[in-house]
Amino acid sequence: MTLKFAVIGAGRIGKVHAENLVTRIPGAEVIGIADVVATAAQDVAAKLHIPKVSADYRELLADPAVQAVAICSATNTHSQIIREAAAAGKHIFCEKPIDFDLNRIDEALESVRKAGVKLQIGFNRRFDPNYARVRQAIVSQEIGELHMLHIISRDPGPPPVSYIKVSGGIFLDMTIHDFDMARFLTGSDAVEVYTVAGVKVDPAIGEAGDVDTAFIVMKFANGVTVSIDNSRKAVYGYDQRVEAFGSGGAIMTDNLYPNAATISTAQNVRRDLPLNFFMERYTYSYESELRDFVESVVNDKPLTVTGADGRAPVVMGLAAKKSYLEGRPVKLSEIG
């Protein structure tokens, strides 16, 4: 069976998903692409030989040949398109987050449930081999009982302030991946969050109502303590590391590099900088998550990342922000 897709959104991540679906995912076919910027959709369609192009995604939802959609549009459109796609009987892959508002998230998830379609959220890092190996070591108790988890996630540079004003802020556009990773690796849910944060990178970020540097400590239901440190700017590149510490040992991952060469001179021993950003660092995981989604739909298997998995990190992000603003630990039960 070939699963016929419409891609909604032809921006940076839309281009990645469209190309993967067309060139790298067995059993997938992209028959339409939509973007409010018609030229953006036309450019992708021409490059990838996608037959149908529209400035209105609803035209693609109305096409009976479309069986699934990949929602890659602006975040503030996600929950609405999920509801409309579910009503049209389409299976749904949607980029994170579902929405910033929990009521709208719940309405979208209820629409999916009623329609009986599948919804997978794009937390691609779960499909990265490094994090998968850490998860394996924890589940198999290769490092004994898990006690602590530390996640480092630092970008090479901040996004434009114009993006930050509509992104939901650092906890919902950046840390949300780390919140999901914490749940994935611990196999548990957070019960309490404490955040210390500030503006260290760019005063304009603070003026926009956000922070650019944060340290978050969380208690999880299974007793594990998780810490996350974020920065909008690491001058040496994209810093993505994790360490899990248990009663029988520890496992940690390093950054990925463009090569394995080490340069040794009389002055120093050095290597090239890490891969520069997420498009290079997580290339494989973007492909793998879509392959997993296609296989789940075609073979009617359970999804790896569900709508509930998409909701939980938003709750964590809202709790983290509340903790920062109020200067106290916040229980997840306070958020909903």
Q: How far is 133 from 47, CA to CA, in rounded Å?
A: 36
Return the axis-axis angle of helices 12-23 and 38-48, rounded to nearest 10°.
20
CB contact set of 228 (below 8 Å; sequence gap of 6+): 150, 151, 152, 153, 175, 178, 179, 182, 214, 215, 216, 218
Element containing residue 268 per DSSP (H, E): none
CB contact set of 62 (below 8 Å; sequence gap of 6+): 88
| Structural domain spans, the chain | 3-117, 126-276+312-334
- Block means of pLDDT (10 residues each) for the chain, 336 residues, are 96 95 95 97 97 98 98 95 98 96 98 98 95 98 98 95 91 97 98 98 96 98 98 95 98 93 94 82 91 97 97 98 98 93
Q: What is the DSSP letter of 202?
A: -
Tokens representing 243? 């360490």
CATH architecture assigned to 3-117 = 3-Layer(aba) Sandwich (3.40)
Q: How far is 180 from 183, CA to CA, in rounded Å?
A: 5
Q: How far is 123 from 185, CA to CA, in rounded Å?
A: 13
83-86: Cβ within 8 A, 24+ apart = 83/107, 83/108, 83/111, 84/58, 85/61, 85/117, 86/111, 86/112, 86/114, 86/115, 86/117, 86/119
Q: Kindly report, residue by residue over 180-192, the tens digit of the pLDDT.
A: 999 999 999 999 9
Q: Kindly report, residue by residue over 84-133, the tens digit of the pLDDT.
A: 999 999 999 999 999 999 999 999 999 999 999 999 999 999 999 999 99
Q: Please report where in the chains the tokens 């790896």 appear, as a residue.
A: 304
Predicted TM-score of the model (pTM): 0.94
Tokens representing 84? 């409309």
Q: Where are the alpha helices (DSSP H) in the chain?
A: 12-23, 38-48, 57-61, 78-87, 102-115, 129-139, 161-167, 170-173, 175-186, 203-207, 278-281, 283-298, 307-326
For domain 126-276+312-334, say whether CATH 3.30.360.10 is its number: yes
